[in-house]
Amino acid sequence: MADVLALHGFTQRGAMWDEVAAMAGGEWVTPDLPGHGTTPLMDWGSAVSWLVAQVEAAGPGVTLAGYSMGGRLALAAALEQPEGLARLVVMAASPGIADPGARARRQAADEQTAERIERLGIDLFLTEWLANPMFSGLGRRPAAWGSRDLRMRLSNDPAGLAGAVRLLGQGSQPHLGNRIGELRVPLVTVAGSRDEVYLAHAGRMAAAAADGRCVEVGGAGHALVGEDPKAIARVLAS
């Protein structure tokens, strides 16, 4: 039995949770997402089914937590009402894109990202990816932490990452925003105060849930798990 089943974000691996798990305590399961690490690539529907099975294997009373891409998958799996799930925690994630035109444009952008991974290779791609302003807060962590984080990301296969952004990106995800009220477990949404777009998503999802609460992590941006692990540990230990 596990207390927490936690899902990482795009380009990361389950080990991203080690620091938070040590602070929060309890038994944790932190699988690699499809296309990451040793987990085979899957399309959206297969990935959700895979995650439902992970939740049920974790046993009764488990908290399902997900960050960014992992948060979107966690929401989709929770809506399938898996046995044993006690709570859902969605961090720095959206419920998907409602407008079909905007979703198609995002799918085209995701394809461009996938092609860039294939063309540049993982080293150069990650240099570009982590230079994105949404990850700027990670620069405040010690250099040794940053080196470990980069090594973890570099351990992924570029073909797997390219496939993951194609099949699990927001362009491929169905919009789930109109289904939040179907959740039968408490929902906690978490976002950084400097991550305005995802803070707005977090507020709307919490308001739409029958039992929802939004937590704002002061001073954090999109990479809030890496930026402020103590705050995330408090949420997951509560």
Model's pTM, two decimal places? Answer: 0.97
Domain contains 118: no
Question: First CA to last CA across the chain, in angstroms?
Answer: 18
pLDDT at 145: 97
State the residue range of the domain holding 10.
4-100+166-237
Distance CA 222, CA 228 (A): 11
Domain contains 112: no
Domain contains 173: yes
Distance CA 7, CA 206 (A): 19
CA pseudo-torsion sign 207, 208, 212, 217: negative
Alpha helix ranges (H) inside the chain: 18-24, 44-58, 69-78, 100-120, 122-130, 143-154, 158-168, 196-208, 224-227, 229-237
Domain contains 153: no
CATH code for position 181:
3.40.50.1820
Mean pLDDT per block of 10 residues along the chain (238 residues) reads 95 98 97 97 98 96 98 98 96 97 97 98 97 95 96 98 98 96 98 98 98 98 98 94
Query: In whole angstroms, what separates CA 193 from the centre of its chain?
Result: 17
Domain contains 51: yes
pLDDT at 238: 79
**Residue 98, SS3 per DSSP:** coil
pLDDT at 206: 98
Q: How many domains does the chain have?
A: 1
Domain contains 145: no
Place of tokens 């609460």: 213
**Both tokens assigned to 119:** 């063309």
**Both tokens assigned to 104:** 């198609």
Domain contains 183: yes
pLDDT at 166: 98
pLDDT at 112: 98
**Both tokens assigned to 214:** 């939004």
Domain contains 150: no
